[in-house]
Amino acid sequence: MQKTAAFITLLLSLALAGCNTVKGVGQDVQKAGNAIERAANK
């Protein structure tokens, strides 16, 4: 569980650091959500 939480935190921090527009934020959040969903399905 801690590995998943660390992974999610890393993804969110990278996503927030990498986007410059509201559209970019939405895309990054969607990608992070997809990664979380894939991790949950494993």
Q: Give pLDDT tens digits for 11-42.
A: 888 777 765 566 677 888 898 889 889 888 87
Q: How far apart, in whole angstroms, are the C-alpha atoms of residue 39 and residue 4?
A: 8
Whether residue 18 contacts residue 32, with contact meaning beta carbons closer than 8 Å, is answered with no
C-beta contacts of 32-38 below 8 A and 24+ residues apart: 32/8, 35/7, 35/8, 35/11, 36/8, 36/11
**Which pLDDT value is given to residue 20?**
59
Q: What is the pTM of this model?
A: 0.47
Expressed as residue numbers, the domain containing 6 is: 2-41
Number of structural domains, the chain?
1
Between these two residues, 2 and 23, which has the higher pLDDT value?
A: 2
**Which pLDDT value is given to residue 18?**
65
**Which pLDDT value is given to residue 22?**
66
